[in-house]
Amino acid sequence: MTFDSQAYATQLENKVTRLRDLLAPFDAPEPTVFDSPLQNFRLRAEFRLWREAGERHYAMFSQDDKRTPILIEEFPIASLRINQLMPQLKAAWQASSALSHKLFQVEFLTTLAGDAMITLCYHRPLDEHWHAAATQLAADLNVSVIGRSKGKREVIGHDYVVEKLDVGGRTFSYRQPEGAFTQPNGTVNQKMLNWAYEALGDRSDDLLELYCGNGNFTLPLATRVRNVLATEISKTSVNAALSNLSENAVDNVTLVRLSAEELTEALNEVRPFRRLQGIDLKSYEFGSVFVDPPRAGMDPDTCELTRRFDNILYISCNPETLAANIAQLHDTHRITRCALFDQFPWTHHMESGVLLTRR
């Protein structure tokens, strides 16, 4: 399959126009645009399996029709490693009833660094025959394999992959756990990290980070400031972030498992939190806040909290909620940098970033 570069350029320009129009009321500068590879950009993929003519096939469904499967043999937007593994895995389950019996879903997670993990989901308990076959599969394909059945999980190898990304002249190593959120487009993610690194700049004060995930932004941004206080609510992501901080010898970050709303309450001294015991919030000299919220954007109270900071570095996966949040902050902050990151080519989705500076 070939991809039309002109069609991609047109689609990307439409995204730029959309972002430009949304931010026009705030006198935003022209966005810096970071494009994506046209194919093999997606590092993770999930497929249902569909039986036809006595054989299982990879299948996907359109948004408009969840009943009619689209049978596929390759997935060109996925990484080369996923496309390499798809036929090898299919051949393995065709040759092994221990692997194929009541197998209904397959998930792939890969990295730019070449690591790979396959998750196999079953409507049956996993026994020693499955374990033996899956162990051989992991060795043959040089991957980690995870088996999932109701309430159970078997891990052969690791339950994570390792990514390596170059930011600001340094290579950072990231442990990305199975089932946790990771940026799907590794090439654009690396561009996004470097933009945020440059936008923050070298600072002598402290950074507050909300929604830190597995530490994707935390690691490089921590090298730009004195100290970081980072929050994340997902326990899996917190554990991955702690591991990544240790692996990369980043020792100026304090990570707290709180939601953004809870941290807002703590900073406003509405109520104490046991998870903040031993952390002196008043000892921080926050000059900047970094936020990468879910699609709903920041809630009004968290948005109001960010107003306290001279600099607000905001990464968004939804330009509409980004614009709504900026509208709340526009009287005290102005947009000094703007970027579009095409994390999701061939869709209407986009990632964007702004640096808001106090007026």
Annotated binding site: 183, 211, 216, 232, 292
Judge whether 212 counts as a catalytic residue: no
Q: Which of 190, 191, 183 is nearest to 165 (CA)?
A: 190
Judge whether 317 counts as a catalytic residue: yes
What is the C-alpha radius of gyration for the chain, rounded to an integer number of angstroms?
22
Burial 307-327 (b: 16+ CB within 10 A, else e): eebebbbbbbbbbebbbbbbe
Residues tagged in the binding site annotation for S-adenosyl-L-methionine: 183, 211, 216, 232, 292
For residue 14, give every residue at least 6 positions away whose Cβ sits within 8 Å of its Cβ, in sequence order, or none: none
For residue 237, give every residue at least 6 positions away whose Cβ sits within 8 Å of its Cβ, in sequence order, or none: 177, 180, 181, 212, 213, 214
End-to-end CA distance of the chain: 50
Q: Write down the catalytic residue from 212, 303, 317, 338.
A: 317
Single-letter amino acid code for the residue at 295: R
Cα(312)–Cα(228) distance, integer angstroms? 14
Three-state secondary-structure class, residue 247 = helix
Residue 197, CA atoms < 13 Å, CB-side half-sphere? 20
- Residues labelled as active-site residues: 317, 351
